[in-house]
Amino acid sequence: MSKEPVEIVGIGNAIVDVLSRTEEEFLSLHQLTKGSMTLIEEEQAESLYQKMGPGTAVSGGSAANTIAAFAAMGGKAGFIGKVSNDQLGKVFRHDICATGVRFDTATLEDGPSTARCLILITPDAQRTMCTFLGACVWLAPSDLDEELIANAGITYLEGYLYDRPHAKQAFMRACEIAHAAGKKVALSLSDAFCVDRHRDEFLDLVQKHVDILFANEDEIKSLYQVKTFEEAVYHVRQHCHIAALTRSEKGSVIVSGEETVEVAAAPVAKVVDTTGAGDMYAAGFLFGLTRDMPLAECGRLASLAAAEVIAHVGARPQTDLAALLQLKKAV
Amino acid sequence: MSKEPVEIVGIGNAIVDVLSRTEEEFLSLHQLTKGSMTLIEEEQAESLYQKMGPGTAVSGGSAANTIAAFAAMGGKAGFIGKVSNDQLGKVFRHDICATGVRFDTATLEDGPSTARCLILITPDAQRTMCTFLGACVWLAPSDLDEELIANAGITYLEGYLYDRPHAKQAFMRACEIAHAAGKKVALSLSDAFCVDRHRDEFLDLVQKHVDILFANEDEIKSLYQVKTFEEAVYHVRQHCHIAALTRSEKGSVIVSGEETVEVAAAPVAKVVDTTGAGDMYAAGFLFGLTRDMPLAECGRLASLAAAEVIAHVGARPQTDLAALLQLKKAV
């Protein structure tokens, strides 16, 4: 039985975030690099959890955040990712389905528990993440819903999938399915350290398989191993149809062929937690793009969505995004 | 082995909150009264969870919120409450201990799961709660750490404990221990419907056993079955040494003997979620009181703490409360 096609299908790690406020000293004490994402084992996750402050648990995962927000804006979206048969898996599934996302990936029955990301928020609102991937590692090519991908306008992938062999195979297979069906592939580079771990493969991907690229300044500079943002822009222009490059409070730059669009960051009364800023940016951008809006308008929606999520703790929106964007006369 | 005494020991339901944004229609569809707390069974909790939107999970429980905030301000506090041997029980224990609260109540090994409160936040920032009490119901007089209570300056109780016979016995026993040791008993009336369920017993309690009473306008009017706030103030003045009565954006009124102190509400840029406002008010008030501050100053701290918690989703503070209060030159 065929189901209604979606505009975007995201493939990524299915994670529940546990966010907690901390001081800079806690990071140095545990040898954590601020702003980075570190992969940890379950035992380390338990030990770090015991030491960290009171937490707030919210569904996360980079591509999943983007997909949930895209759906909250009123878009049709699907998600593919692996959770385990446990409490956190139930939470992840509930939360993404509750936004109207189609999420049919089979639950992992015998295996590690659902992924958790311990997120430490320092007083400067930066987030430092320690992720136990758990069940995510078991996402395999056989989990891909080929019909869903072939019928989606855009297949959206997160770079973090490259950290594990099974998931990486699924990633590559999804690119093939999308392109064979004449559809587009979008990629978020995820993290400068993740780029560092997989630079050659990411370069190859960006040159040959990615139509729409999302990256922040650090990530795109790391990809091309250049010192300035301008050099990175020069390179990426040759490789992707569209690249949306975010620069925190400096806004973003969208590069497409000869076109270069600079977008200001949307104002935020108080930046509380930057977790999910890039994910929301991608959601807003893709929402505009799938509605054939001009790049400047895509960027404006992206900035508004990012501004919503950095004003509170957690990477998923806490206000009615569709209403928020309408209020601003954006859609 | 004796442990260091605490200033305040709280006794209450040990609950993890799951908060979600909703529309007014959802409440009427499920016959929920806005602003109230309804007790539900586990099956109803499962069914409501499936229907509600994406959630944010944060430790809660009325007295537990107060105690955690009191500790976050720099006070010495203990908590007595019952969790089960499950994931949510671990979350509750982690979060309250991470604020420095002494929490030694034995985990329930064979019994219902840890309590959950499904909290629906309407666009007007009001919260409507559905609570599955689970393990909380099994809090019994034998769970009381008599030494902890006898040595604490104040024993703080939540009215919600009255909803179950075991917990109510523990409640009464705690009053006896505290008073026998020459210490004070504080009570939060919790909820106008809870007052309605137990009015005669609460009246008796307030007249004979409670030294410090916290209530909002609806609760205190319900207790005395009067139409105006002024009538309620007249009655409570005869019964409690101190009564701190909150009136949302109208601030609060503190009544003690002949004294009446009016305290303005602290300004909030945007009220997001009123969950925990009363609990935080009590924390700030008790922090000032245990430091022998004048009632007006206790009220000011109370209002500042309440203002912090209504500016975000969840009933536990998300900023450094001690720093916040110091910043305002309050302590």
How confident is the model over B126-176, as pLDDT tens digits?
999 999 999 999 999 999 999 999 999 999 999 999 988 888 999 999 999
Determine the average pLDDT of the residues in B110-119: 95
Does residue B330 surpass a pLDDT of 50? no
- Please report the sign of the dihedral spanned by the C-alpha atoms of residue A64, residue A67, residue A72, residue A78: negative
Query: In chain A, which stretches have pLDDT less than 70?
Result: 1-2, 326-331
Please give the pLDDT value at position A329.
Answer: 44
Nearest to B318 among A52, A269, A313 (CB): A313
**Domains in chain A, ordered, with CATH?**
8-13+61-112+136-327 (3.40.1190.20)
Note the Cα A56 to chain centre separation in Å.
19
Question: Are B313 and A316 within 8 A, CB to CB?
Answer: no
pLDDT for position A2: 60
pLDDT of residue B91: 95
> What is the percent of chain B where pLDDT is above 70?
98
Tracing tokens 């998923």 back to the chain, one arrives at A316
The ipTM assigned to this model is 0.89
- Exposure letters B107-129 (e unless 16+ CB within 10 A, then b): bbeeebbbbbbbbbbbeebbbbb
Judged by a CB distance cut-off of 8 A, whether residue B269 touches chain A is: yes
Distance CA B119, CA B316 (A): 14
pLDDT confidence of residue A321? 85
Q: Which amino acid is at A175?
A: C
CA dist B318 → A55, A123, A166, A281, A305 (Å): 9, 11, 38, 24, 22
Q: CB-based contact (8 Å) between A128 and chain B?
A: no
Confidence of residue B52 (pLDDT cuts 50, 70, 90): very high
Tokens representing residue B1 in the block: 């082995």
Is residue B1's pLDDT more than 50? no
Contact status of A64 with chain B (Cβ, < 8 Å): no
- For the ranges A322-331, B1-10, B109-118, the lowest mean pLDDT is seen at A322-331
Q: What's the whole-model pTM score?
A: 0.92
Write down the pLDDT at residue B2: 60
A57: contact with B, CB 8 A cutoff: yes
For testing contact with chain B, the best of A19, A25, A124, A312 (most B CBs within 10 A): A312
DSSP per residue over B159-210, as a string? GGGGGSHHHHHHHHHHHHHHHHTT-EEEEE---HHHHHHTHHHHHHHHHHT-
Tokens of A191: 């993290």
**R_g over Cα of chain A:** 18
Q: What are phi and psi of B118, to 5 degrees?
A: -85, 120
DSSP string, A114-144: PEEEEEEEPTTS-EEEEEE-GGGGG--GGG-
Taking only the tens place, the pLDDT of each residue in B179-203 is: 999 999 999 998 898 999 999 999 9
